[in-house]
Amino acid sequence: DDLRACLEALARYPFTGGDQEVIVVDNASWDGSAAMVRGEFPGVRLIANHANANYAKGTNQALATATGDYLLLLNPDARVAAGTLDTLTRFLAAHPGAGAVASKLVGRDGVVQRSVRGFPDPRSVLWDLLKLPRLFPGLGSYRQIGFNYEKAQIAPQPMASCFLLTRPAYEAVGPMDERFPLYFNDVDWCLRARKASLEVWYSPDAIAVHGYGGTTQQVRRAAVWESHRALLRLWGKHYRETTPRLFYVMMTGIVTLGAWARTGRWGESLGNNGGETTPENLHRELERAGGSARVSAQHRGGKQPP
């Protein structure tokens, strides 16, 4: 079980520089996860929702409850390695301009995962769709083709599977935007961090083993639909005013056609106005497939590790 392995790793390799608090948000899972946490990890604070509150809301519940100086967002399918928590904390302490740092993610097969992307503005997405970065590497800002995963560096938007924030950064940027229930909420947070003049870094010295859970075709279609919708919502929030109107309309049309083609939902609206939408389609199909969404958030405070 991913969540059990995640919590066991946190217990085995704890933060050594002060108190450690672990918070698990269970989004109405059906597989006994909440009972497992209560029975096997009595020191973990459990927030058990009676309905699926989705990823962003669950993360915000944990962040609002946490009281420490550093806040770690940790997916339940990620396991920290020895020294990961201390390394991330020391890194932020040594980089005053940094608001967050992401660990290196390694698959269960030992292969380093390409976990860093550039911001998916409409122009970068078009270059990627046309495969132009293969011919002109300078256009590969979205895929970050040349990113060196063995070097600590500023990363536009790293995957937030093991992602440490400072308390001041969280207070300056704010919680996850719940209009992005599952996808692009971390991208949106990184965009807001940049606008707040905060750096987001990647550290290869902190490692988390990260696995991707298996999904049914039905869930994959729902996920594709929601990810396309979230991308349009991100554009509406951050790029609508700075992108030439005709190009913006063309790109939203391309994304919509792509969503229709990949899911078979011809003619259905993606809700691409950048406003509030409810992720009913995804949650309904996840429930039909027997899925559940869970978030594990861990935070700690205290002095820096030696």
pLDDT value of residue 259: 86
Span 184-188, average pLDDT: 97
Q: Is position 132 within any domain?
A: no
**What is the β-pairing status of strands 70-74 and 98-106?**
unpaired
Which two three-digit tokens encode residue 264?
């078979």
Grade residue 198 by pLDDT with cuts at 50, 70 and 90: very high
Are residues 260 and 239 part of one domain?
A: yes
Q: Is position 42 within any domain?
A: yes
Tell me the HSE value of 156 on the side-chain side, using a 13 A CA sphere.
Answer: 13
Are residues 64 and 201 part of one domain?
A: yes
pLDDT at 167 over 70: yes
**Residue 255 to residue 259: CA distance in whole angstroms:** 6
Domains contained in the chain, number: 2
11-70 pLDDT per residue, tens: 999 999 888 999 999 988 888 999 999 999 999 999 999 888 788 999 999 999 998 999
Q: Is position 126 within any domain?
A: no
Which two three-digit tokens encode residue 150?
């063995």
Are residues 203 and 267 part of one domain?
A: no
Q: Residue 294 sits in a domain of what CATH number?
A: 3.90.550.10
Are residues 244 and 208 part of one domain?
A: no
pLDDT value of residue 141: 83
Question: Residue 173: CB partners within 8 Å, gap ≥ 6?
Answer: 99, 189, 192, 193, 196, 198
Are residues 98 and 14 part of one domain?
A: yes
Q: Is position 23 within any domain?
A: yes
Q: Is position 137 within any domain?
A: no
Are residues 282 and 182 part of one domain?
A: no
Q: Is position 204 within any domain?
A: yes
Q: Is position 53 within any domain?
A: yes
Are residues 234 and 198 part of one domain?
A: no
Average confidence score pLDDT of the chain = 86
Domain with 233, as residue range(s), is: 217-288
pLDDT at 298 over 70: no
Are residues 195 and 233 part of one domain?
A: no
Are residues 210 and 65 part of one domain?
A: yes
Are residues 238 and 190 part of one domain?
A: no
Question: Residue 213: CB partners within 8 Å, gap ≥ 6?
Answer: 2, 77
Grade residue 208 by pLDDT with cuts at 50, 70 and 90: very high
CA distances (Å), origin 31, targets 26, 181, 284? 11, 22, 17
232-249 pLDDT per residue, tens: 999 999 999 999 999 999
Are residues 105 and 248 part of one domain?
A: no
Q: Is position 275 within any domain?
A: yes
Are residues 179 and 107 part of one domain?
A: yes
